[in-house]
Amino acid sequence: MSNPKTASLASVTGRDQFIIAEALATALIALEQLPEARKPTRNMTDMKMLLHSLCSPPEVSIHLTTARWRFIPSARPFGASGQRRHRTDENGRSV
């Protein structure tokens, strides 16, 4: 559904491929949560093909894992949290 004006744009944000990959991965994980009868399986298959066409297999894995963590926080590996750790020295001062 592109027209000549949008088809010629190389990048809108400078991170288009990353944003699109994140959106596809997030949508896939969200759609996986639906009951089987409501899953748009053909669309999900096409979304997976699009994601794999944009990214290498390790990048696909990272995008899907990140999306899973958003929807299923218990899926985070041990020690991973949504917050950065605040480091302090032996006196409790920020470092």
Q: Is the predicted pLDDT of residue 80 greater than 60, yes or no?
A: no
* Residue 7 scores a pLDDT above 70: no
Domain boundaries, the chain: 13-75
CA 32, chain centre distance (Å): 14
Question: Is residue 1 very low, low, confident or very high in pLDDT (cuts 50, 70, 90)?
Answer: very low
Contact 68, 29 (CB under 8 A): yes
Query: What amino acid occupies position 83?
Result: Q
pTM of the complete model: 0.69
Q: What is the dihedral of CA 39, 43, 44, 48, to 10 degrees?
A: 180
Band of pLDDT at residue 90, cut at 50, 70 and 90: low
**pLDDT tens by residue, 31-66:** 999 999 999 999 999 999 999 999 999 999 999 999
Longest pairwise C-alpha distance within the chain: 62
The phi and psi torsions of 23 (rounded to 5 degrees) equal -65, -45
